């Protein structure tokens, strides 16, 4: 909670103004019963109209001043809460952007979305309500108790006996509600996860007729959320009747003993009215506490979830004295091993090979052999757990992340496009890329002619994830996005799988004319033949390496792959990983 509330520091002045104005409202509210008592005892009972008018006008004036203070308080409270929420969301987003893949594995996507939306909104609303009304409730109870003693000590003692009981009950309720709301937020994560997966995989769900199954999954998650919400709200709703019962019993006791004091002449009618008035205000303040309990319980759970993200240390940072990458990139793997965080088994084991500047190296292997894992080590999306990866003779851990990744053009297996124009998606690879650079990259990627046929050409809007494009078009736009960076290292993770042979041949010919070192994961012998070197991987180890002719002579697996794709075998033995 302290970590999150520290975001209020820049707005200390605005918080102070809001609290000061709230105290003005509170002071007026606490003075009103004493003025009413004065009007009753000295004005109404003595039939002094002038005094009634005098103090009545004072009462109206104070109320108008308190009203104006409340309006200005709302303005400052809104400013603080909105700015507070903005700063937290910004910090959360920047923190997530700094995470490595191993950091991201700690928090599911749906959970991060919930934390940046629902949890931040909960904190934002709590800050606003705290500055507007929440702080008034406890202060009104304390102030009302003190003012009651100034009015009549004996009658005030009745309230003093009731308030500690109510406070103990509230503390118990708030502690239990905090635990319930923490569970509730995790159930909300589960609902969001199922919803996100369904929206992303709607085509697959329809194609496999799994709508009924997914409805049951969502219904289960939704029911769990409902049950946790009902449990939490039932506790909160139970608190209000208990509070009112005890407080109203206190008011009845004040009236009972007050009538005896009035008869004995030790209390005036105005004093009894003032005590009852204070008791009534305290009752309304306690009723607000049910809302405060719910808001603060949820806020505490949300604050903890937000702090969990902010306190997570990014485990992939630049080492002191890190350097930039040279103009001509060579790549070398030396006995590289890798296992995913939290896993014991190695995905890669003692991988060694090199790629000279300007070479094209093809990576081949069966599904799950570790090809994509190997690619993810080069831009340090993960760090290798053994051996070394060098670029231009320097271990990549000693190269600044910005320089390393800035020198790499990476096209993953799934071509992810963003909502926007074709031009925007290509230039996403290089900020402020010129139109000539965009078109040049598109031509090499063999997508320029297709773009020219689109309704608005490069300004044609692309739907979410490129929904209005074919698989091959998405792949080529993704490749153009990598090429516009003019990378020194180009990584193509099975990025030509949706292209026909002629288009792929023109693409590879265009790439070979660049000065970049290219690594391409492929399952096509026709693609591998054009590479200067082929690395054949099986079960995370290098099985064989060489060019096409050498592997045909030396590798039985490569021979079988070649035969299967030439139509002499039954099944191809390599795939994507």
Tell me the C-alpha distance between 426 and 417, whole Å. 9
Judge whether 258 lies within some domain: yes
Judge whether 316 lies within some domain: no
Supply the CATH number for residue 469's domain. 3.40.50.300
Judge whether 240 lies within some domain: yes
Q: Give the ranges where 409-567 is alpha helix by DSSP (H).
A: 422-427, 435-444, 448-452, 471-483, 501-512, 525-528, 548-554, 556-565
- Residue (of 285, 314, 301, 270) closest to 96 by Cα position: 314
- Residue (of 78, 65, 76) closest to 24 by Cα position: 65
430, 456, 486: which is the final residue of a domain? Answer: 486
User: Residue range 250-256: average pLDDT?
Assistant: 81
203, pLDDT greater than 70: no
Radius of gyration of the chain (CA): 35
When divided into structural domains, the chain yields a total of 3
512, pLDDT greater than 80: yes
Tell me the C-alpha distance between 135 and 175, whole Å. 19
User: Residue range 394-401: average pLDDT?
Assistant: 85
Judge whether 317 lies within some domain: no
User: Residue range 232-261: average pLDDT?
Assistant: 79
CB 555 within 8 A of CB 350: no
Query: Domain check: are 156 and 297 in the same one?
Result: yes
Q: Cα 51 from chain centroid?
A: 61
Query: Domain check: are 391 and 425 in the same one?
Result: no
Given this model, what pLDDT does residue 328 score? Answer: 64
Judge whether 319 lies within some domain: no
Query: Domain check: are 392 and 506 in the same one?
Result: yes
What SS3 class is residue 354? Answer: strand
Burial 511-529 (b: 16+ CB within 10 A, else e): beebebbbbbbbbbbebbe
Mean of per-residue pLDDT scores for the chain: 82
Supply the CATH number for residue 70's domain. 1.20.1560.10
The pTM of this model reads 0.67
Query: Domain check: are 377 and 423 in the same one?
Result: no
Query: Domain check: are 248 and 391 in the same one?
Result: no
Query: Domain check: are 370 and 397 in the same one?
Result: yes
438, 464, 486: which is the final residue of a domain? Answer: 486
Query: Domain check: are 112 and 196 in the same one?
Result: yes
Name 92's Cβ contacts closer than 8 Å, sequence gap at least 6: 112, 115, 116, 120, 306, 309, 310
310, 334, 352: which is the final residue of a domain? Answer: 310
Given this model, what pLDDT does residue 86 score? Answer: 92
What SS3 class is residue 337? Answer: strand
Q: How many residues does the chain have?
A: 577
Judge whether 412 lies within some domain: no
Terminal Cα-to-Cα distance of the chain (whole angstroms): 42
Query: Domain check: are 425 and 298 in the same one?
Result: no
Domain of 459 in residue numbering reads as 417-486
Query: Domain check: are 460 and 557 in the same one?
Result: no
Judge whether 522 lies within some domain: yes
Given this model, what pLDDT does residue 576 score? Answer: 39
Query: Would you place residue 334 in the very low, low, confident or very high pLDDT band (cuts 50, 70, 90)?
Result: very high
Beta-bridged to residue 336, according to DSSP, are 351
């Amino acid at each position: 909670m302290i970590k999150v509330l520290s975001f209020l520091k820049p707005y200390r002045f605005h918080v102070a103004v809001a609290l000061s104005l709230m105290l003005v409202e509170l002071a007026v509210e606490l003075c009103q019963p004493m003025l009413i008592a004065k009007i009753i005892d000295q004005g109404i009972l003595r039939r002094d109209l002038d005094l009634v008018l005098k103090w009545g006008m004072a009462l109206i004036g104070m109320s108008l001043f308190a009203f104006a203070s409340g309006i200005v308080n709302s303005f400052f409270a809104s400013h603080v809460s909105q700015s507070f929420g903005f700063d937290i969301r910004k910090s959360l987003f920047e923190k997530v952007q700094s995470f490595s893949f191993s950091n991201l594995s700690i928090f599911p996507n749906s959970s991060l979305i919930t934390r940046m939306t629902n949890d931040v909104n909960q904190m934002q609303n709590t800050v606003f309500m705290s500055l507007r009304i929440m702080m008034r409730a406890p202060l009104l109870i304390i102030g009302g108790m003190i003012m009651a003693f100034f009015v009549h000590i004996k009658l005030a003692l009745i309230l003093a006996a009731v308030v500690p009981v109510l406070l103990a009950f509230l503390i118990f309720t708030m502690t239990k509600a905090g635990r319930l709301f923490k569970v509730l937020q995790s159930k909300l994560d589960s609902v969001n996860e199922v919803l996100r997966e369904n929206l992303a995989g709607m085509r697959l769900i329809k194609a496999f007729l799994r709508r009924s199954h997914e409805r049951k999954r969502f219904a289960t998650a939704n029911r769990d959320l409902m049950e946790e919400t009902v449990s939490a709200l039932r506790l909160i709703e139970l608190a209000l009747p208990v509070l009112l019962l005890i407080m109203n019993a206190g008011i009845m006791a004040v009236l009972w003993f007050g009538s005896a004091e009035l008869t004995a002449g030790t209390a005036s009618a105005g004093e009894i009215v003032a005590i009852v008035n204070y008791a009534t205000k305290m009752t309304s303040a306690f009723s607000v506490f049910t809302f405060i309990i719910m808001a603060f319980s949820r806020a505490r759970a949300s604050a903890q979830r937000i702090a969990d993200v902010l306190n997570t240390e990014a485990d992939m940072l630049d080492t002191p004295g890190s350097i930039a990458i040279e103009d001509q990139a060579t790549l070398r793997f030396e006995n590289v091993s890798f296992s995913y965080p939290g896993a014991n088994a190695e995905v890669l084991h003692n991988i060694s090979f090199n790629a000279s500047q300007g070479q094209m190296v093809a990576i081949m292997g069966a599904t799950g052999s570790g090809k994509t894992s190997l690619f993810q080590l080069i831009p340090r999306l993960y760090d290798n757990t053994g051996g070394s990866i060098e670029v231009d003779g320097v271990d990549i851990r000693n190269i600044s992340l910005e320089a390393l990744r800035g020198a790499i053009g990476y096209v993953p297996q799934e071509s992810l496009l963003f909502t926007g124009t074709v031009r925007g998606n290509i230039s996403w690879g290089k900020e402020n890329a010129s139109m000539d650079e965009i078109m040049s990259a598109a031509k090499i990627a063999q997508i320029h002619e297709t773009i020219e046929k689109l309704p608005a050409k490069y300004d044609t809007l692309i739907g979410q994830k490129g929904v209005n494009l074919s698989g091959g078009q998405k792949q080529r736009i993704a490749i153009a996005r990598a090429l516009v960076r003019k990378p020194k290292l180009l990584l193509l993770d099975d990025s030509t799988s949706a292209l026909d042979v002629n288009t792929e041949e023109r693409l590879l010919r265009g790439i070979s004319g660049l000065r970049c070192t290219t690594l391409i994961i492929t399952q096509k012998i026709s693609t591998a033949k054009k590479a200067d070197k082929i690395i054949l991987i099986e079960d995370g180890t290098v099985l064989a390496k060489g060019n096409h002719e050498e592997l045909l002579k030396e590798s039985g697996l490569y021979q079988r792959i070649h035969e299967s794709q030439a139509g002499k075998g039954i099944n191809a033995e390599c795939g994507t990983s």
